[in-house]
Structure 1
Amino acid sequence: MPAPLPRPLTPEGFARYGEVPAVPEAVGMRTSFDGGLKSLRPGVPASLSLILASPSLARPVPIGIIERHVWTSQSFVPMAPVRWLVVVAPQAADGGPDLAAAEAFLPEPGQAITLHPGTWHAPLTVLDAPAPFAILMWRDYGPDDEEVREITPIGIAV
């Protein structure tokens, strides 16, 4: 399978997978991005995690795992201006990831994403240096919170 070429992250280009929240341009303004935040299981608590993500320094960037959260959206919010990579894939007819249609995005420093529930995606992939991120989702730490699949590794040129 040929690896997708990364392209800039835009709300329009990413719409089938989720939202791209943006910081307001005016000082003191607040924009809410509640529409993309979803839990499809009543009673499951929200989870906010903070991580200092380890960078992937190999080039091309190897992607050997893809995952999804069937019941919840998942937001990744960088807490510093860092380079990172987003790799997503639509669902195939069998319910697994359609890796032939995978797409890769390079967010601008400070851009965040919220993935739709059920979106297949590579784990958080930071480039160049360790980076702090906030991750928001709903989870009860049960077996249905996350589905992870190993894939034949693909290399993403960045």
Structure 2
Amino acid sequence: MTGPVRARPLTAEAFAPFGDILDASGTCDRLINAGMCERHHDRARLDFGTEGRAGISIFDAVPRSLPYDCDLLERHPEGSQAFLPLSANPFLVIVARDLGGRPDKPLAFVTGPHQGINLHRGTWHGVLTPLHPPGLFAVVDRIGPGANLEEVRLDPPVRIIAE
């Protein structure tokens, strides 16, 4: 894992192997509440395994800046994990393909103002990395029995730089 990784804009095509983009920009799927609310319908494939259930938590993460040295990747083998920012500020998304139980060299994305993400079950990813305060996110993930967290320290860290 040599050389820096450029954080590029988050697009559905580039992110598809890792998860879903939760996006409220563009045309909505339908109007509800007497035409007063746009519903951007069914944006993620949630997966909590056979023994899990969905839980909603609030995370309050410390904002970081670019360049950013990523020294930890994790994954959740038992369920998907969605991050929904509670502000319009961008955040950094770091993901990696799996190479036989270990992460490959990470890729990095910067979200747009109306984007959240849903990481597919088992996707290697960096920690929650807001780029501006506040670092408040609603997180939808698996609650249930069993070990649902694997972590790998990166030594040396991978430097993430702006595009």
Distance 1:32 1:60, change over 3 A: same
State the Cα deviation string for residues 50-81 of structure 1 (Å, max 9, x = none): 12221114x41111100000111100000101
Q: Going by fraction, where is strand more abundant, 1 or 2?
A: 2
Larger Rg: 2
Is this contact kept in 2: 1:75–1:135, CA < 8 A? Answer: yes
SS of the equivalent of 2:14 reads helix
> Is residue 17 of structure 2 the alignment partner of residue 23 of structure 1?
no
Is this contact kept in 2: 1:21–1:33, CA < 8 A? Answer: no
Instruction: Find the partner of 2:60 among 52, 60, 64.
Output: 52
Is this contact kept in 2: 1:139–1:145, CA < 8 A? Answer: no
Who is 2:77 aligned against? 70
Separation in structure 1 between the aligned mates of residue 111 and residue 43 of structure 2, nearest angstrom: 20
Separation in structure 2 between the aligned mates of residue 70 and residue 14 of structure 1, nearest angstrom: 19
SS of the equivalent of 2:13 reads helix
TM-score of the aligned structures, taking structure 2 as reference length: 0.85
Q: Percent of aligned positions with the same letter in both sequences?
A: 33
TM-score of the aligned structures, taking structure 1 as reference length: 0.87
List runs of 5+ in structure 2 lacking aligned partners. Answer: 29-35
Separation in structure 1 between the aligned mates of residue 114 and residue 60 of structure 2, nearest angstrom: 15
Q: Offset of 1:35 from its aligned partner?
A: 4.8
Q: After TM superposition, which residue ranges in structure 1, 4 or more long, deviate above 3 angstroms?
A: 24-27
Who is 1:151 aligned against? 154
Give the letter for the 2:48 counterpart.
Answer: S
Give the letter for the 2:41 counterpart.
Answer: S
Separation in structure 1 between the aligned mates of residue 51 and residue 58 of structure 2, nearest angstrom: 22
Who is 1:95 aligned against? 101
Give the letter for the 2:51 counterpart.
Answer: G
Instruction: Find the partner of 2:48 among 39, 42, 45.
Output: 39
Who is 2:10 aligned against? 9
Q: Offset of 1:139 from its aligned partner?
A: 2.3
Separation in structure 1 between the aligned mates of residue 43 and residue 83 of structure 2, nearest angstrom: 14
Separation in structure 1 between the aligned mates of residue 44 and residue 68 of structure 2, nearest angstrom: 32
Residue correspondence of structure 1 range 81-92 to structure 2 within 5 A:
81-92=88-99
The farther-off stretch of 43-52 and 14-23 is 43-52
Separation in structure 2 between the aligned mates of residue 117 and residue 45 of structure 1, nearest angstrom: 14
